[in-house]
Amino acid sequence: MAFVYLLRCADGSLYCGWTIDVPKRIAKHAQGKASRYTATRRPHTLAAAWEVPTPTDARKLEARVKRLTRAQKLALATGAPLDDVLIGGGTRDRPIPVRFPSPAP
């Protein structure tokens, strides 16, 4: 299993990434060692996470989420179903509908 996650940074921005261990990755972000982007935007809170079957699927979903508009990412961060946001249109590349599970608690 792998996960795609959204972090809400201290400056209000949203960061999307993928991992196979969410708590460990969040800890790395908290230490400032996970990415250059989040290193200067601490503290972070986990806004959403989705479980996918493989790391390859996680990388593909991460790329799709990163192409969403800020409004769409904010919708995901407030609990909007991933399917609704991805299938609802508005992304720059008009993705083909794909079913993904609901956010992990």
Task: For the chain, give every domain's residue range.
Answer: 2-87
Q: Taking Cα atoms as reference points, which of 49, 47, 23 lies closest to residue 101?
A: 49
Tell whether domain 2-87 is in CATH 3.40.1440.10: yes
CA neighbor of 15 nearest in space, from 44, 57, 55:
44
Specify the amino acid at residue 105: P
> Which amino acid is present at 13?
S
pTM of the model: 0.79
pLDDT in tens, the chain (105 residues): 999 999 999 999 999 999 999 999 999 999 999 999 999 999 989 999 999 999 999 999 999 999 999 999 999 998 888 887 877 654 444 443 444 455 555
